[in-house]
Structure 1
Amino acid sequence: MADLAEARSNMVESQVRPSDVTDIRIHDAMRAIPREDFVPPGKRYLAYADAPVEYAPGRVLLKPRDVAKLLQMAKPVKGERALAIAAPYAAAVLEALEVVVERLDEGDLKTVPGANYDLIVVEGAVARAPEAWLKALAPGGRLAVVERDGPVGKACLYVRGEGDLGRRTVFDATPPLLSGFEAHQGFAF
């Protein structure tokens, strides 16, 4: 048990903090939450590695650095309502930050339960954020997701305005694509 607590601390000190994650609340949550609880028993040794870890077929926990940077760019606020899509670890970190979290881990991940989320976070890459996710954002709501249609993805932050939607890329990341979210290539000469 002490070894895993040390591994969590080392993860924050060697992977999260050096990656410009300055939100102390995220550091504290990641030091406290046993990441190994979110992976199958045979993969517990990978929980603190600098790599995505598959926890179910076609589903991964993002690298610690990537999940921390996604959460920091989304700027979660205590009491906000969030949707965690294929994101069990990110959901636990958000709950430690006193965000009210709904989880979407099963079935069709493109169909959002409800609407008016202040925050949506996704662990895993998609070719492009589905329209249903964007429509589920409340005014001022943010979607933190990695969009990837090649070897390197871009962590994107979408922000719902009063009649528009802003999008900016924040950092490069290379998580695997979520199953069913691959780019569909058209025919070209």
Structure 2
Amino acid sequence: MNQQNFDEMRRAMIASQLRTTGVNDPQVLAAIGSVARERFVPADRVATAYAEIPTPLGDGRAMGPPMALGRLLAEVRPRAGERALVIGAATGYAAAVMHALTGHVVAVEEDAGLAAQARDALEGTGVELVEAPLRDGYAAGAPYDVILIDGAVESVPQALVEQLARDGRMAAAIVDRGVTRLAIGRRGGSGFALLPFADVEAALLPGFSLPAGFQFEGVE
């Protein structure tokens, strides 16, 4: 594979996977088009870097399909100058795309191996990578205008909600009775809830489970 092949694959991804599923925000498309996704996948997976499937990263982690990220970003609408937090940085792809949109990103990853890969892949981008428990976020950098949880979760810890600015937005995939649904929410006053808008396959993010018998209601 050469750079021309990857450039063509990236253009095809935007045309066939994003635009056809309602991702038409020009800023989101430009940001995704500016980031070489192949740099963020394992060496033995580069040939399928732009496929619409989760990309295994080892130890139960995976990079989500491009369309899931594109739809979340199109709904939450990050803009230049906003401060963003990415939870579940993995190898850094979503953080790189978010930085192309906002210019101010803190990315949190708790897996030491993935954090090391992200640190290398994100070098020179300006993304601030923090190695810490995903559930805790990064309160030292709060408040954030946008929080992206890059993966499917059963619950959203109150600690993350509290790191949103007033009227701040959050985007995530939620797991509801075995189905993953993309959702967004906004913090207003003392209230917050994630509202699903599409059933889409998303990579599971460990550490955000509800106790047996509970159902997702937005926030713990």
TM-score, with structure 1 as normaliser: 0.92
CA separation in 2, counterparts of 1:149 and 1:170? Answer: 13
Residue 113 of structure 1 corresponds to: 138
Q: Which residue of 2 aligns with 1:94?
A: 98
Of all paired residues, the percent bearing the same amino acid is: 35
Q: In structure 2, how many angstroms separate the alpha carbons of the residues matched to 1:98 and 1:131?
A: 24
Q: Which amino acid aligns with 1:101?
A: V
Find the counterpart in structure 1 of residue 75 from structure 2: 73
Does the CA-based 8 Å contact 1:21-1:72 persist in structure 2? yes
Give the TM-score, by structure 2 length.
Answer: 0.79
Query: Could you give the per-residue CA deviations for residues 88-120 of structure 1, whole angstroms, max 9, x where no partner exists?
Result: 222111111233000101241101212211111
Shift of 1:163: 3.3
User: CA offsets, 1:23-70, max 9 Å, x none?
Assistant: 111112222211011111111122100111123423322211110000
* Partner residue of 2:152 out of 120, 125, 131: 125
Query: Cα distance, 1:184 vs. partner?
Result: 2.4
**SS of the residue aligned with 2:205?**
coil
> Contact 2:88–2:108 at 8 Å: present in 1 too?
yes
- Cα distance in 2 for partners of 1:19, 1:177 equals 21
Q: Is the 8 A contact 2:65 2:201 kept in 1?
A: no
- Structure 2 gaps of 5+ residues are 111-131, 215-220
Q: CA deviation at 1:148?
A: 0.3
C-alpha distance in structure 2 between counterparts of 1:164 and 1:183, whole Å:
20
Matched residues, number: 187
SS across alignment from 2:176: coil
Letter in 2 for 1:139: R
Separation in 2, partners of 1:60, 1:129:
19
Unaligned runs of 5+ in 1: none
- Cα RMSD of the aligned pairs, angstroms, is 1.7
CA change 1:99–1:126 in 2 (3 A) is same
